[in-house]
Structure 1
Amino acid sequence: MDSTPRKWDISDIPDQTGRIAVVTGANSGLGLDTVRALARAGAHVVLAVRDPRRGEAAAATVRGSVEVRRLDLADLGSVREFAASWQGRLDLLVNNAGVMNVPEARTKDGFELQFGTNHLGHFALTNLLLPHLTDRVVTVASQAHRAPGRPSIRFGNLNMTGEYAPVAAYSQSKLANLLFTLELQRRLTAAGSSVRALAAHPGWSATGLQSHDASAVRRALMWLGNRVYAQDSKAGALTTLYAAVQDLPGASYVGPDGFGEMRGAPTLVGRTQAASDPATARRLWTVSEELTGVVFPEPATAA
């Protein structure tokens, strides 16, 4: 008899009946697979998407209770509108949406697109929804926070004006995701809230995210890697789902258990020293409040 412990998968998700979740970037890839798993387990899931028509097409493939609402994380006005329309309880927020290694561009509010979408958009959304939240926030980060060159938060030039590099900008945004999670958990704990902030990364998962890379060479390499090495998006979503439903400590970071954390079953993983620095996390939070005009509110108490 094989005594090897069975690895965690979607069959281990506990009953989610009665729970309400929001998943950003939910019309494809990791986001859609996260929605499918949560809805199948009984949760009511809101697909928060930039294009409602694509969102409705995605929602039609989901078995369970879902709805679609418009949310453009590259537009703080859209973020505020989404949050202002929310009524009642919210149990789970999954900050999944993101852009990766794209050509230089700006959000509607003038921020570098990757930092503005991946970090500032989710920063504002989380804080605006926090008064409704009863359980947890899961933010999807990336191994890119470990990229060569020791990524850091460029406080003197967050928009990387005059020195933009797609990979460096993406790495900065993913480092920001982890620092955001760290400081959010500190603030939640200090406020006496039972809400938890966690992060997860999917390893190397084959999604459409890589197809928008600014470099044709990187696009070709990623296409090849997606075909011969990467796990599929359903497997990649397992780390997010594990963080979303397991009883884990606040500020936990979940990733795949395979070699280099590139693929495998979800487990707790480490992060770089730069992603663990509380002083940098507090500084980033202060700057993010100034840039977005959104501050940490009084969180809800668990129902």
Structure 2
Amino acid sequence: MKKTVLITGATGGIGLETARALAARGFHILLHGRTLEKARMAASSITEGSVSPIHADLSDLTAIHDLAGRVKALHPHLDVLINNAGVWNSRQVLTAEGVEETFAVNHLAYFLLTGLLRDHLQPDGRIICVASDSHRQVKGMRFDDLNLDGNYHGLRSYAQSKLANVLFCYEYDRRKRDRTTICAVQPGLVQTDIGIKGNTWLHRLAWRVRRRMQGNKTPAEGAATSVFLASVEDAPPSGLYWDNLSPKRSYSSSYSEEEARRLWEVSEKLTGYRYQF
């Protein structure tokens, strides 16, 4: 039976290359984009394999619920969920619920979509969350000011969201009672457009310069670990942080069980969704 994988944020960069590689390996791809038009355009660029476009604005909690409902209604099973979508904002942007957008898309969407789809995953299903070594740039979550109202900076916001990704994966692994596997992935410094979209001219310029620096990965190279974890025959060990096809240590603050527990409780409050294990 063909395996099905949902990949969020798959209209370009790492997500699109992940979709392309897994389609070539025989997966049926649910290719997510913010709009149906973008998802359809990206799906049409994959000439090998089976791809279905699907859309939702992941900064919108109602849209995430709708996305999960459509996945369940249209697809009898899900083998892999790859939480890949991400944003990086120079200026603070708030969602309709008043949550800073980077934190909402990069973490809360992972948290909520995983919760809504976990019962639809196969018993040995895999959950892959694209994180980043950027989480090393912050010493912990700013629970007293998650929106960073007092001191907003795009790099600080992004780093906090990536720390949240790692904390979430570790806490999910501690709480789960089934055979699903959850992993956090560090894709590396990748030549993508994440730092260009909707940012100030100075940050766009800096990102363009950064993309040309020697040693940066192509999007296909950045996708390699996610592709490996999704397709390797024997399930990888759960609850680890992966880089270049191998597990490694994440930053020390990501191992704080108290920090992870508190983030979990805050995430349940902000999303209005309570996990039942």
Query: What TM-score, normalized to structure 1?
Result: 0.85
SS at 2:54 equivalent: strand
What corresponds to 1:242 in structure 2?
228
- Number of aligned positions between the proteins: 268
Superposed counterparts of 1:85-100, under 5 Å: 85=70, 86-87=72-73, 88-100=76-88
> CA shift at 1:19, angstroms?
0.5
1:137 aligns with 2:123: no
Superposed counterparts of 1:114-125, under 5 Å: 114-125=102-113
Amino acid at match of 1:232: T
Q: Which of 85, 96, 99 is 1:111 aligned to? A: 99
- Aligned counterparts of 1:275 and 1:213: Cα–Cα separation in 2: 29
1:73 aligns with 2:58: yes
Whether the 8 Å CA contact 2:171–2:257 is kept in 1: the answer is yes
Whether the 8 Å CA contact 1:52–1:69 is kept in 2: the answer is yes
Q: Which of 242, 258, 263 is 1:279 aligned to? A: 258
Cα deviation, 1:134-155, whole Å, max 9, x if unaligned, reads 21110000111012xx342111
- Aligned counterparts of 1:136 and 1:81: Cα–Cα separation in 2: 22
Superposed counterparts of 1:38-187, under 5 Å: 38-62=22-46, 63-85=48-70, 86-87=72-73, 88-134=76-122, 135-147=125-137, 150-187=138-175
Amino acid at match of 2:130: V
What corresponds to 2:194 in structure 1?
209
Cα deviation, 1:165-196, whole Å, max 9, x if unaligned, reads 211111110000000000111111xx2x0001
Amino acid at match of 1:46: L
Cα deviation, 1:71-96, whole Å, max 9, x if unaligned, reads 21100000011112223211100000
Bigger shift: residues 215-224 or 85-94 = 215-224
Superposed counterparts of 1:24-43, under 5 Å: 24-43=8-27
Q: Which of 176, 200, 210 is 1:225 aligned to? A: 210
> CA shift at 1:214, angstroms?
3.8
Amino acid at match of 1:91: D
Amino acid at match of 1:253: Y
What corresponds to 1:269 in structure 2?
248
- Aligned counterparts of 2:231 and 2:167: Cα–Cα separation in 1: 22
Q: Structure 1 vs Structure 2: percent identity of aligned residues?
A: 35
What corresponds to 2:5 in structure 1?
21
- Aligned counterparts of 2:81 and 2:30: Cα–Cα separation in 1: 10
Gaps of 5+ in 1: 1-16, 257-265, 299-303
> CA shift at 1:122, angstroms?
1.4
> CA shift at 1:217, angstroms?
3.6
- Aligned counterparts of 2:42 and 2:217: Cα–Cα separation in 1: 21
Amino acid at match of 1:244: A
> CA shift at 1:219, angstroms?
2.9
Cα deviation, 1:234-288, whole Å, max 9, x if unaligned, reads 11100211222333211121113xxxxxxxxx32221011111112111110110
Whether the 8 Å CA contact 2:84–2:130 is kept in 1: the answer is yes
Bigger shift: residues 288-297 or 238-247 = 238-247
CA RMSD of aligned residues (A): 1.5
Query: What TM-score, normalized to structure 2?
Result: 0.92
SS at 1:155 equivalent: coil
Whether the 8 Å CA contact 1:131–1:297 is kept in 2: the answer is no
- Aligned counterparts of 1:50 and 1:41: Cα–Cα separation in 2: 25
Amino acid at match of 2:225: T
- Aligned counterparts of 1:270 and 1:231: Cα–Cα separation in 2: 21
